[in-house]
Structure formats: C-alpha cells, structure tokens
Amino acid sequence: MLADIVVGLQHGDEAKGKVTHHLCKDGNYTHVLRFNGGGNAGHTIYHEGKKFITHHIPAGVFHGIKSIIGSGCVVNVRAFFKELEMLRKGGIDTSLVKIASNCHIITNNHLDEDEKDKTIGTTKRGNGPAYKSKYERSGIQAKDALELRPFIIDLYEEFHNNNDVRILCEGAQGFELDIDWGDYPYVTSSHCVAASALLNGIPPQAVRHIWGVGKVYDTYVGQKRFEPDEDIFSMLRHIGEEYGATTGRPRQCNWLDLDALNRSVNINGVTHMVLNKIDVLEKVNRWCLKHKGKLQSFKSRKDMCDYIINNSTFKSKSKNVYFSGNKHSIL
C-alpha cells in the first residue's frame, strides 16, 4: 500500500481540491479518499472547461478513480444525492463513488441544532452536532442507512485485501481550523491534520508524500475578527474572488503569517508545498507577509518567494515548493 496526503495549511479555502485534481491526472492512484469533514467543505474544481463545486465527493471522480467518503467524514444523505446528480448532469461518471461503512450520517436534528449557533460562525451544515453524536455513541453509521447501501464499502477489505493499492487522501478545511490545533473555539469539528488520514485504515508506513496547500495570503470565514481595516484587503477579496464555496460568505483577508505556516508545515510533516493565488498579489502589486511579529514588505514576487523558501521550516528542496496562480494546475 502507498498513500499520499493533501492537507490544508491555513483556514481552509486553499485550493486542496485543485491540487488533488491535478495529482489525479497522472493516473497513478487506485483510490481517492476524503478523510475528514462533510458538507461544510467546498472544493472548487475546473474540469474540461467546466466549474464544479463538491462538498462530499473526492476529486478522483473526475478521473475514473474509485472515490471514497472516508470514516472520518459525516454525510448529509440528501445533499450527497444532489451532489451525485450535479456531477452526472455535468457528464461525470459517478459509478465509482463509495462511502465507508463506518462513516456517520448528518440527520435533520443535527441540522436544526446547528442553526442555533450564533458564536462560532459555522456553515450550518450539521457537522458539529453529527460529530457530537458520534462521540456520544448515539450516531447513525452509513452502513445502517438503507438508501446508501449500494455505495457502502469496508475500508479494511478495500485497502488491505487488494494488491497494489495507491491512495490519494484529500483533506477538508485546514490546519488552523483543526479541533485540537486551531484557535479554539473558532475551529471546525473534525481533525484537519495529515495524521487524520491514517484513521481511515491506512498504516503510517504507507505514507509517501504529504502535500501541504496554502495561499500566499490568508483568509478566514467565521465570527472572529481576522481582517485589518485596510483597503488592500478588500482588493484581495475582490480580485481573489474570496467568497465561501459552501455558503457564499465573504472571506476575511490578511497577509500570510509565516510563523503560523511553519507551525503547520512541521506538525503535518509536509514534503511538498503549494502556495496558491500568487496571481492575486501580482494584480494588486503588493508583496507582504508577517514574520516574527513584523510586517515584511518586498519589491518583487521573486524577493517574497525567496524569503518564504529561505525562512520556512520546510526542509525539502525548493523544487518541491510551487507558487501557483493557475486555477487548473499547481504550475
């Protein structure tokens, strides 16, 4: 068995779906696995000239790869079937979409409970209450939902009783929203770190590469104050189209925090790093980041990119760092 992991390094919305879609193109994977989150995720993917936004289903579906909603996820059954229909209408074959038998279900009661939130700023998709039921041992597993039975698989049987299994693990949200490592309580309800992928039946020794995905600036959606009072951040939001793929809410913008990025890189064990939206900084012609409590300004893209590489705790060679301004590719 071999496994590569795609993980968000910031507050989500880093284009993990794009990176997963790009890595699928070489056809080296037998499975793509979503390992956390649920309908609160929104992965924007451009495929054959069409734009798709997926919430549950992994990006492998666009490449004819078996695509599994993993045991660390929670699923809204109605939303799942709507997503299948959306993909089919877009010409995508969904016959290889599967759901782990021990994945948990979001119920109407979970949705109602989530609507009451006024403090955290959740997406109101029922994820938190569904995870709460899971850990209270009162939840419903996917294997017990009659309408999902055609999609159910056992992850152990799938990964350990087959030969030449090569898994690409697609994470949701980002490290800064992790239930343990984020700015609690302004976090999501699942584990967003790379290690969370292993909870889907993948042994640690199977992991080959960990792709950390971020942006050259940072964004956040939620209740806490994140964006400074400067016009430049409104420009970043407008030019970068920084509106939530799930809720449509405007994302608060700020400069990249290199210290926070290094923390995320270290804890996730990143071997390859993609920093997206470099084209947005080119359009506003401002090259800034925060490091060691100070705002650092640069004269050019090259100066800022070199600074990130030289001051990052990312230990791999610079050839494994990609600064991307392309919606379709990491290059």
Q: pLDDT digit string (tens) for 44-80?
A: 899 988 999 999 999 999 999 999 999 999 999 999 9
Q: pLDDT digit string (tens) for 30-39?
A: 999 999 988 7
**pLDDT confidence band for 120 (50 / 70 / 90):** low
Dist CA 106 CA 272 (whole Å): 34
Helices (H), the chain: 16-24, 77-89, 108-114, 127-135, 155-160, 231-239, 258-268, 278-284, 301-311
Inside any domain, residue 80: yes
SS3 for 123? coil
Is 209 catalytic? The answer is no
Q: Which helix (H) or strand (E) holds 74?
A: strand 74-76
Q: Which of 4, 13, 114, 178 does the annotation list as catalytic? A: 13
Inside any domain, residue 53: yes
SS3 for 315? coil
Type of residue found at 7: V
Is 178 catalytic? The answer is no
Inside any domain, residue 182: yes
Inside any domain, residue 154: yes
Q: In the structure encoding, which two tokens stand for residue 241, read together?
A: 């189209």
Tell me whether the omega of the peptide bond preceding residue 185 falls within 30 degrees of 0, making it cis.
yes
The CA-CA-CA angle for residues 46, 52, 56, to 5°, reads: 120
Q: pLDDT digit string (tens) for 210-264?
A: 999 999 999 998 888 899 999 999 999 999 999 876 677 899 999 999 999 999 9
Closest C-alpha among 74, 68, 81 to residue 105: 74
Q: pLDDT digit string (tens) for 152-181?
A: 999 999 999 999 999 999 999 999 999 999
Q: In the structure encoding, which two tokens stand for residue 213, read together?
A: 């995905």
pLDDT mean across residues, the chain: 93
The CA-CA-CA angle for residues 55, 61, 66, to 5°, reads: 115
Inside any domain, residue 330: no
Burial class (CB in 10 A: 0-12, 13-18, 19+), 34: buried
Inside any domain, residue 331: no
The count of structural domains within the chain is: 1
Largest CA distance in the chain: 60
Inside any domain, residue 329: no
Distances (CA, A) of 239 to 73, 235, 257, 297: 32, 6, 20, 20
Dist CA 217 CA 290 (whole Å): 10
Q: Which of 11, 21, 31, 43 does the annotation list as catalytic? A: 43
Burial class (CB in 10 A: 0-12, 13-18, 19+), 104: buried
Inside any domain, residue 61: yes
Is there a contact between 49 and 25 (Cβ–Cβ < 8 Å)? no
For residue 43, give the CATH number of its domain: 3.40.440.10
- Which residue segment(s) compose the domain that 238 sits in? 2-323
**pLDDT confidence band for 202 (50 / 70 / 90):** very high
Q: pLDDT digit string (tens) for 176-190?
A: 999 999 999 999 999
Dist CA 322 CA 331 (whole Å): 7
Question: Per-residue b/e over 185-204, b at no fewer than 16 CB within 10 Å?
Answer: ebbbbbbbbbbbbbebbbee
Strand partners, 321: 273
